[in-house]
Amino acid sequence: MAWCENCDRPVDGEVCTICGEEVTVTEREPIPWTWRFFIVATIIYLIWRIYQLVSWLSH
């Protein structure tokens, strides 16, 4: 799926049917590894906090 910036609408194909402009197909970039690391670190931190809370409640 491409996107026409002139009409601000999605375009099916390589040429916009409204204005006739050639549009470039935008490829989705993969998630950078720094983001994955950040997400994993956040999950580990949350699990640690939940573990602490559960151990605190059980005492």
- Residues that bind Zn ion in the complex, under the rule CB under 5 A: 4, 6-7, 16, 18-19
Structure tokens at 17: 């049917």
Shortest reach from residue 32's CB to Zn ion, in Å: 31
Q: Which two tokens stand for residue 50?
A: 């939940």
Nearest distance, CB of residue 48 and Zn ion, angstroms:
51
| Residues 6+ positions from 17 with CB-CB distance below 8 Å | 11
Looking at residue 20, its amino acid is G
Whose CB is nearest to Zn ion? 16
- Shortest gap between Cβ of 11 and Zn ion (angstroms)? 7
